[in-house]
Structure 1
Amino acid sequence: MKKLILSLIFAAAFTTVSAQTETEKTVTNNDYNKWSVELAGGLNKPMRPMTAGYRTAVTSAYVADLGVRYMFNNKFGLKADFGYNSFKEGENSVGFDSKYYRADLQGVANLGRIMNFETWTNTLGLLGHAGFGLGFGESDNSTGTDKMGNFMAGVTGQIKLSNRVALTGDFTTILNAKQNRTFDGASAIGTPGFAGVLFNGTVGITVYLGKNAKHADWTVDNEGRLDGIENRIAAIENKMLDTDNDGVADYLDQEANTADGALVNTKGKSVDANKNNVPDDVEKYIMENYTSKTDKSSVLSNNELITSLINGGYIATYFDFDKSTPTNVSTEGIDFILTYLRNNPTASIDIIGHADELGRTAYNDKLSNARANKVKSILIKANIDASRLNVIAAGEDNSVDKDSELARRLVRKVTFRVK
Structure 2
Amino acid sequence: MTVMDFAMSAKASDYHKRLSEFITDYVFPAEAEYDKYREEAGPHDHTVPPVIEELKIKAKAAGLWNLFLPAESGLTNLDYAPLAELTGWSLEIAPEAINCAAPDTGNMETLHLFATEEQRKQWLEPLLAGEIRSGFSMTEPAVASSDARNIETSIVRDGGDYVINGRKWWTSGASDPRCKILIVMGRTNPEAASHQQQSMVLVPIDTPGVTVVRSTSVFGYQDQPGHCEIIYDNVRVPVTNLLGEEGSGFAIAQARLGPGRIHHCMRALGGAERALALMVNRANTRIAFGRPLADQGMVQNAIAKSRNEIDQARLLCEKAAWTIDQHGNKAAHLLVSQIKAVAPQMACNVIDRAIQVHGAAGVSEDTVLARMYSWQRAMRIFDGPDEVHLRSIARAELGREKSVFAAAVT
> Fold conserved (TM > 0.5)?
no
Is the radius of gyration larger for structure 1 or structure 2? Answer: 1
TM-score, scaled relative to structure 1: 0.19
TM-score, scaled relative to structure 2: 0.19
More helix by share: 2
Structure with the bigger RCO (C-alpha within 8 Å, sep 6+) is 2
More strand by share: 1
